[in-house]
Amino acid sequence: MRLTLHSADQPVPERKSAATPRLDLLDVARGLALLTMAVYHLSWDLAWFRLVDWPVSSGPGWRLFAALIAGSFLFLVGVGLVLAHRRKIQWRKATIRLARIALAAAAISAATHLALGDQYVRFGILHAIAASSLIALPFVRLPVPVTLGAAALAAALPRLLPGVLGDSPWLLWTGLTGAPPAAVDYVPLLPWLAPVLLGVAAARLALARPGLIEGLGRWQTHARWSRLAAFAGRHSLIVYLLHQPVLYASVWLVVATGLTPDRTAREFVEECVLSCTFTMEEAACQRVCACTLEALRRDGTWAALLQSPTDPALTREMQARFGICHRDELARTP
């Protein structure tokens, strides 16, 4: 198949009988983006279960890592839009794809609301992909300079008009409200529409170079890693929906079976000893605090505390156990 291309700002003519090829390279890129996302989510899970002390949610390096992952996904969304609609915008195909992503986004919001309460995903990466895909679709046919200008505007608006829409929770999706929500994933339309539009512009420019897309299309996956990455990229929505539950459940299972050190228990003993040393020697405090932890584990209070660390009834039970162990230690001391 040969494309006759005149400029990036004109529709791309193509023989009506020619099928739109699928680029292995694009699928591999999506697969690698999914891999980096899985690495980030696994790190988040390890920190959530206190198996590591990495600042995944707040560290500057981690935040940059997360932004690069989201940006790469959204950039590839823009590239995919151009390749899927380069002859003409296929509204039926676009509507079906949009409905699938929107349904998946709604499922993510519902599931995280049940699991995480107020930290649920109000407008995450799937929400951003759905909204950005709809908004970016007309830019597939518009001149590239217009698309680049729109991308620059999308990136600049949150800085030019910070909080201009106030603190309405119904407008959080815009990115122009006040402080972001305390959600585990928040990818508002602005500025994240920008990488989608940049992907559209990049793909249009690539199509404007005769033979470039055809040359990229001749590259095929041969190595096992690239075939796996391409497979994941071709089924990116399913992989995205499944990978985090699998990772989270795996880490939870490891923690539940006691195959890893209980960092929470260790920190509890350390803080307990620090408080206890005001009344007795450190060695005795170590025994008292270890006794307290063992008693809490034995009657199930420890597991309940991990789920509800601020529960007043559980806190009183913990203090009572500490008091018993403290008195026993004093009784043994000559």
Residue 93: C-alpha distances to residues 17, 90, 96, 102, 276 (Å) = 18, 6, 5, 14, 67
- DSSP per position, 18-64: PPPPPPHHHHHHHHHHHHHHHHHHHHHHHHHTTS----TTT-HHHHH
Task: Specify the DSSP class assigned to residue 188.
Answer: -
SS (H, E, C) 162-186: CCCCCCCHHHHHHCCCCCCCCCCCE
In order along its 334 residues, the chain shows pLDDT tens digits of 333 333 344 444 443 334 455 788 899 999 999 999 999 999 999 888 878 878 898 889 999 999 999 999 999 999 999 999 988 889 999 999 999 999 999 999 999 898 888 889 999 999 999 999 999 999 999 999 999 999 999 999 999 998 888 888 899 999 999 888 888 899 999 999 999 999 999 999 998 888 877 777 777 777 888 889 989 999 999 999 999 899 989 988 887 776 666 677 888 888 899 888 888 888 889 999 999 999 998 888 888 887 777 788 888 899 899 999 998 888 887 6
135 exposure class (CB count in 10 Å sphere: 0-12, 13-18, 19+): middle
Compute CA 17 distance to the chain's CA centroid, rounded to the nearest angstrom: 40
Inter-residue contact 129 to 192 (CB < 8 Å): no
Inter-residue contact 181 to 109 (CB < 8 Å): no
